[in-house]
């Protein structure tokens, strides 16, 4: 299966949007992960950098968002501000046809007070680094009570950077009943451990060699 239409799950407007973006066929990680993600299952996927992992989880989480509910329904954790900005940009491109979807990045480096003001209306999607998000959760400027989808992007790098404990703390603020997606370019042993801890019967997707 290589065409997005064959998933039988994406609305016509999204198929048109993907065409306009030049996404004519699914990449291997998208083809392997999207059916399970769209069905609401937990997935852990390893595929090298540049293989289209953002759209693999992005197309899934967007389908599960109710735009009329102004509550945070998806959270993507990233290791750095640069990566969070890239993910947010791609999510906005994938959501171009969806009116009123609000995507907000929350990373260190910007004043907390500025971020707090932009959180007065809860965004549908938050893309964040674990430390700064935890500050917001502790000060109750962010609520994850309506969270449906949690994504750990570049999970290997987050563990390398020592974020394991912060990730666990973030998850303690999230509902137990949720979809958890784990994406990584490499698959060190520590990832299997965190997957076991935070995922429920995940589908494992491994594409090609690690980089
Ligand atoms: P990764 O997270 O695996 O490193 P990205 O999600 O950043 O990869 O995607 C890499 C590039 O591939 C981006 O420029 C993105 O726009 C593009 N891309 C993603 N999916 C497709 C697709 N199905 N067809 C064509 N280009 C795609
Ligand atoms: Mg990526």
Asked if residue 125 lies in contact with residue 76, where contact means CB atoms within 8 angstroms, the answer is yes
3-state secondary structure of 204: strand
Residue nearest to atom 26 of ligand 1 (CA): 23
Looking at the chain, the whole-number percentage of residues with pLDDT higher than 70 is 99
CA 186 / ligand 2 centre spacing (Å): 12
Looking at the chain, the whole-number percentage of residues with pLDDT higher than 90 is 94
CA 153 / ligand 2 centre spacing (Å): 7
Which atom of ligand 1 is nearest to 25's Cα? 23
User: Count of residues for the chain?
Assistant: 211
Question: Over the stretch 149-160, which tens digit does the pLDDT of each residue have?
Answer: 999 999 999 999
For residue 157, which ligand has an atom nearest its CA?
Answer: 2
- In order of 53, 55, 154, 155, 171, the CA distances from 31 in angstroms are 11, 11, 19, 20, 28
| pLDDT at 211 (0 to 100) | 47
Which atom of ligand 1 is nearest to 54's Cα? 6
| Residues with C-beta less than 6 Å from any ligand 1 atom | 22-23, 26-27, 30, 47, 49-55
The answer to ipTM > 0.90 is: yes
For residue 78, which ligand has an atom nearest its CA?
Answer: 2
Taking the CB of residue 175, how many other CB atoms lie within 10 A of it? 12
Cβ contacts of 39 within 8 Å, gap of 6 or more: none
Q: pTM for the complete prediction?
A: 0.97
Residue nearest to atom 18 of ligand 1 (CA): 52
CA 83 / ligand 1 centre spacing (Å): 13
Average pLDDT, the chain: 96
Residue predicted with more confidence, 189 or 79:
79
Pocket test for ligand 1, best of 34, 52, 79 (most atoms within 8 A of CB): 52
User: Among all chains, which residue has been given the structure tokens 């907000």?
Assistant: 104
For the sheet containing 43-46, what is the strand order?
Answer: 103-106, 125-128, 74-77, 149-152, 179-184, 43-46, 203-206
Residue nearest to atom 25 of ligand 1 (CA): 23
Q: How far apart are CA 94 and CA 96, in angstroms?
A: 6
| pLDDT at 99 (0 to 100) | 85
For residue 52, which ligand has an atom nearest its CA?
Answer: 1
Question: Over the stretch 111-164, which tens digit does the pLDDT of each residue have?
Answer: 999 999 999 999 999 999 999 999 999 999 999 999 999 999 999 999 999 999
CA 165 / ligand 2 centre spacing (Å): 22
């Amino acid at each position: 299966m290589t065409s997005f239409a064959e998933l039988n799950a994406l609305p016509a407007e999204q198929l048109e949007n993907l065409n306009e973006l030049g996404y004519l066929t699914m990449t291997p990680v998208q083809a392997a992960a999207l059916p399970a993600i769209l069905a609401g299952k937990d997935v852990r996927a390893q595929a090298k950098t540049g293989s289209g992992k953002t759209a693999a989880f992005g197309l899934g989480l967007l389908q599960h968002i109710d735009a009329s509910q102004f509550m945070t329904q998806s959270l993507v954790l990233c290791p750095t501000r640069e990566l969070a900005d890239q993910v947010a940009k791609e999510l906005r491109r994938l959501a171009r046809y969806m009116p009123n979807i609000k995507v907000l990045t929350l990373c260190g480096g910007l004043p907390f007070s500025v971020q707090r003001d932009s959180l007065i209306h809860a965004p549908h999607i938050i893309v964040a680094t674990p430390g700064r998000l935890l500050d917001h959760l502790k000060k109750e400027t962010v609520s994850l009570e309506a969270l449906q989808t949690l994504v750990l992007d570049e999970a290997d790098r987050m563990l390398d950077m020592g974020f394991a404990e912060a990730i666990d703390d973030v998850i303690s603020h999230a509902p137990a009943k949720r979809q958890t997606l784990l994406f990584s370019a490499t698959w060190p042993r520590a990832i299997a451990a965190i997957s076991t801890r935070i995922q429920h019967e995940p589908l494992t997707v491994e594409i090609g060699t690690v980089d």
